[in-house]
Each structure stands twice: as C-alpha cells, then as structure tokens.
C-alpha cells in the first residue's frame, strides 16, 4: 500500500482512514499534482471538510458550485473557477486533498 507522510492511501490516492488527515498531507498531495495550495484552495478544502462533517457525504459538483458561490461570492460559484483551482475536478481532486472519500456518483 502506498502512503503519504505515513498515512495510507488507496490506488487512486484517497486517504484510507479519514482521521489520518493533516494540512501537511494536503500540501504533500497537492505537490504531487504540481499545485501550490493558495488561500483560495484552502477555502474550498475547508468547505469540503465542513460539509462532510455536517452531512457525512462529499457534495456533488453542482451542489459544491452553488454553495461556494453563496459563501465566497458569485464570481466563485462556477465550475470554471473551481476547475482553475483543481484541474482534475473540484470533486475528485478537491476531496482527495481534503481527505474525504471519492464523491458518490463521481466517475
């Protein structure tokens, strides 16, 4: 099994145990994808973690888009913005950095 900073990850790079998550792990995962995490990335990552804590699921992309727009301003509530932060998909890549499981229904 592969690991990131000692935390076990599955074949797609998602954390096996969500409790293992740390900010350092997120930074390390992003580095592996050639991404330097900015404040805007953290806004989304923290949002995803809060959402998961509250609802026990990762949000679908359209739900995420709408909620981000509501919380951080309309200019950010679109998939173009979210994909500019997470080129492999805000759901898939964002959730991975946030230490969440792969979103349900995400291919």
- Which of 4, 21, 59, 94 touches another protein (CB under 8 A)? 59
Phi, psi of 13 (to 5 degrees): 90, 5
Closest separation between CB of residue 72 and another protein, Å?
16
Closest separation between CB of residue 105 and another protein, Å?
4
The answer to whether 63 contacts another protein (rule: CB under 8 A) is yes
Active site annotation includes 95: no
Q: Is 104 helix (H, G, I), strand (E, B) or coil?
A: coil
Closest separation between CB of residue 23 and another protein, Å?
24
The answer to whether 57 contacts another protein (rule: CB under 8 A) is yes
Buried b (16+ CB within 10 A) or exposed e, 61-71: beebbeebbee
Q: Is 1 helix (H, G, I), strand (E, B) or coil?
A: coil
Contact set with another protein (CB under 8 A): 54-57, 59-60, 63, 66-67, 104-105
């Amino acid at each position: 099994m592969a690991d990131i900073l000692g935390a076990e990850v599955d074949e797609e790079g998602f954390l096996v145990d969500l409790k293992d998550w740390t900010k350092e792990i997120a930074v390390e995962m992003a580095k592996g994808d050639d991404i330097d995490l900015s404040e805007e990335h953290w806004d989304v990552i923290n949002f995803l973690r809060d959402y998961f804590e509250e609802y026990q699921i990762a949000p679908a992309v359209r739900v995420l888009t709408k909620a981000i727009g509501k919380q951080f301003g309309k200019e950010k509530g679109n998939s173009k913005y979210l994909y500019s932060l997470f080129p492999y998909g805000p759901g898939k890549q964002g959730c991975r950095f946030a230490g969440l499981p792969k979103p349900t229904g995400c291919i």
